[in-house]
Amino acid sequence: MQVIRNVYREDHEMLRETARRFFERECVPHQPAWDEAGRVDRETWLKAGREGLLCVTMPTEYGGGGGDFGHAAVIVEEQFRAGVSGAGFSLHSDIIAPYLLRLGNEEQKQRWLPKVCSGEMILAIAMTEPGGGSDLKSIRTTAVRDGDDYIISGSKTFISNGLNAELVIVACKTDPAAGAKGVSLIAVETTREGFRRGRKLQKVGQPAADTAELFFDGVRVPATNLLGEENKGFSYLMQELAQERLLIAAYCTAKTERMLEHTIEYVKDRKAFGQTVWDFQNTKFKLADVKAQVMAMRTLTDYCISEHLRRRLTVEEAAVAKLYTTETMWKCLDDMVQLHGGYGYMLEYPIARAFTDMRIARVAGGASEVMREIIARKL
């Protein structure tokens, strides 16, 4: 009993095969080393670039795959199905590179995109600050114009790809009195004087994700690094965040489907009271509930992917997809941890790993409460 997926074409499914092989062969064996090191090694990033798994939606003239959102979605689904944790490929390729493509002028695109597509230049986006992340219009980092330059001062936290990044898109205030209308996006090369990375943050899950604090102590950046127009950054962020939220829905759905498969396998094998755990009616009912919820997640996500491919996905629909899939995934994962007993708490079991790795989905990319605010505005 599967939802028939008609959102993808044959070329998407062919890419899925390539992605599945890559994640299983080139990433899964390295996961323990990455977890230990707290980051994914550069060679794997470059391999992903050579396999055409980075920046699949970027135009071929800049070294990208020339694909559409469906290609990006199948890659991220396969990454999460395989259990590859903490690799910021999709963030780099499908969430941050689009800012360079959509807002960059030709000179900026030529300057950055080829290296971004090959994996030589890793991207991060720095919105969140120690003072707050949900209320983006209140950020305090400033960019003050000085001749042909901006001088950036402030600090950011929880920045994914923060240790590996060579280019960071920084949300900063160019008109501090103007609230949301005073935010701009400026690309900052991490070689610039005054830029500093803080410690790698110790998280509940995804140990291989290099999430870090970043400091900007009067970093001088040429005004030619401004993306799009000055003071329009907030509306740029709101437009791009819809795709980020849909990607989160896509990988949460794929993860929950995979964990259901794992759990069915586990309970059919595990014995208690002279029968398998599967034989308890409670187990069957719990997993039937998970199945029903997974089908609803899948139907909603595929509808939103299809709308996005037609360029019709609204900000509110993306918020619905993120809210529903992340909250439902969380309930399902908790039930499936329970059915694993103590093994559900052991990190060597995929369900435990999913439980710790995926908790952040209800917060990052906009907390569930913020999603509800966005949805409610249009009710």
Residues noted as catalytic: 244
Q: Cβ contacts of residue 330 below 8 Å, gap of 6+?
A: 358, 359, 361, 362
* Choice from 37, 264, 364, 375 touching ligand FAD (CB under 6 A): 364
**370 near ligand FAD (CB under 6 A):** yes
* Choice from 105, 110, 134, 299 touching ligand FAD (CB under 6 A): 134
**160 near ligand FAD (CB under 6 A):** yes
Q: Pinpoint the alpha helices (H) of the chain.
A: 10-22, 31-37, 42-50, 69-82, 89-90, 97-103, 106-118, 233-269, 281-309, 315-339, 350-358, 368-377
The count of other CB atoms within 10 Å of the CB of residue 54 is 27
Residue 149's DSSP bridge partners are 146, 222
Q: Which residue sits closest to ligand FAD, CB atoms considered?
A: 133
* Choice from 369, 376, 377, 378 touching ligand FAD (CB under 6 A): 369
Q: Which helix (H) or strand (E) holds 214?
A: strand 212-222
* Choice from 203, 232, 270, 291 touching ligand FAD (CB under 6 A): 203
**152 near ligand FAD (CB under 6 A):** no
**100 near ligand FAD (CB under 6 A):** no
**127 near ligand FAD (CB under 6 A):** yes
* DSSP designation for 201: P
Q: Is 282:323 a contact under the CB 8 Å cutoff?
A: no
343: amino acid identity, one letter:
Y
Number of residues that bind ligand FAD (CB under 6 A): 20
| Residue nearer to ligand FAD on the CB measure, 276 or 368 | 368
Rounded to whole angstroms, the Cα distance separating 87 from 187 reads 22
| Residue nearer to ligand FAD on the CB measure, 7 or 100 | 100
Which residues are at the interface with ligand FAD (CB under 6 A)? 125-128, 132-134, 158-160, 203, 211, 360, 363-364, 366-367, 369-370, 373
